[in-house]
Amino acid sequence: MKKGLVILLFGGGVFCLMYGGWQLLSSTMAQNITLDQARSVVAANVPENKHKSGSAPNDFQPEMNEVIGILGIPKLEAELPIVEGTDEDHLEKGVGHYRGTAFSGQNDQIVLSGHRDTVFRNFGQLEIGDEVIIEMNYGTFTYVIQETEIVDADDRTVIRSTAPNEILTLTTCYPFSYIGSAPERYIVYASPVFEQEVD
């Protein structure tokens, strides 16, 4: 009886590892395809004089599930595709832009979310002062991390207008090593670095 239980537990553990590995591989493949699309989006339709940080087209309204840009995190050597929407299908492809929040250069809160075990799996290494870069087809925007916090998974107060101040808010599940549906969210707040005009 005890031997059978050990075999059953061992088999279950092996299955979980294989299933988790397959999910990670599948997600990585989907993200690589989406990243290629994001690079094409960023490269296309760029005006000769890109918008400086702090400006964006007023009519920029992507469709749900549309690939809209790239999130770069230099410290993690990460280049991640940004997809419009935060449903499970969207987050499978990369970082999701929370519908209804602003885009870079629109002087309000931008909210991007990602899974802790895929796109944001090394998120805990980020520190105050680290840079985060968003590339869109209308410009490149650099942000510096100012603050982090941990909130309850059901706390929606982190999503709010910050106008006229632009704040990039990155969210993921927490604790990072938690198995199953995590009870909390890890929030990163970053402020834009405005380029100075050169005479």
Is 97 noted as a catalytic residue in this protein? no
Which residues, in sequence order, are CB contacts of 67 under 8 Å at separation 6+?
A: 34, 37, 38, 41, 81, 82, 83, 84, 93, 94
Name the helix (H) or strand (E) containing 147: strand 139-152
CA distance 145 to 166: 13
Which residues are bridge partners to 133 per DSSP?
A: 72, 142
| β-bridge pairing 95-97 and 131-136 | unpaired
- DSSP three-state, residue 35: helix
How far does Cα 113 stand from its chain's mean position?
4
CA distance 129 to 145: 5
Q: Given the residues 16, 51, 97, 115, select the one marked as catalytic.
A: 115
Residue 147: CB atoms within 10 A of its CB come to 11
CA distance 175 to 37: 31
Is 173 noted as a catalytic residue in this protein? yes
Q: Given the residues 16, 51, 90, 173, select the one marked as catalytic.
A: 173
Positions annotated as catalytic residues are 115, 173
